[in-house]
Amino acid sequence: MGLEREEACHNILFATCFNSFGGMKVFFPALMKYVAQAGEKLHRQLADEIRSTVKSNGGEVTLSAIEKMQLTKSAVYEALRIEPPVMFQYGKAKKDLIIESHEAAFEVKKGEMLFGFQPFATKDPKIFENAEEYIPNRFLGEGEKLLKYVLWSNGPENESPTVANKQCPGKDFVVLIGRLLLVEFFLRYDTFTGEAGTLLLGSSLTVTSLTKATGK
């Protein structure tokens, strides 16, 4: 595009940090809100999984170690499902198409503007049992098949961003950094409580108690 390499790198770095900051500012409080509300049993399960995996990895937090933490991963996916950081999407139809719901079909003409409110899909009770409830182990085992209905990144979670779609380029980074937040937190603390609130762009959480880790 005619940019010098240095300028291009600065633009990439700025875009990455700017978009990440905006997303995390919304996503982190929501994730911790749901984990706090889930209670001490979940906290104990997460702490056990995280600490045992890190211990077996020589005490190091690495990408390969994080990838083995299945409950931690599911807990993050469930937060993204129940409260997507960006709930609204839009785009113009590139061709005539038919959009189908469970009960009906809608004809869309090329050039027409489409607008979507994501929670209509991510909390669809015909897809997700107890769809309004945060269930941290929802995506374990056979539940992993439901990831195709987790659309927080503007596309199915089991697909990847390409130049031909509108899926978030930072999709995998967001999931990773959410898991890393839980990993670092439960390496330090056994449990916590908090008071949930709302902000202009989403949830807020005021931590009211922290119990330091009794063992790692």
Annotated binding site for heme: 168
Closest alpha carbon to 178 in 15, 7, 34: 34
Binding site, annotated residues: 168
Contact (Cβ atoms closer than 8 angstroms) between residue 26 and residue 201: yes
- Block residue for tokens 């990144």: 153
The secondary element (H helix, E strand) that includes residue 136 is none
Q: Report long-range pairs for 97-103 (Cβ below 8 Å, ≥24 apart).
A: 102/126
The residue ranges of DSSP E strands in 59-181, in sequence order, are 88-92, 97-100, 105-108, 113-117
- List helix spans (H) across the chain: 5-38, 40-56, 63-67, 70-82, 119-122, 171-188
Q: How far apart are CA 36 and CA 39, in angstroms?
A: 6
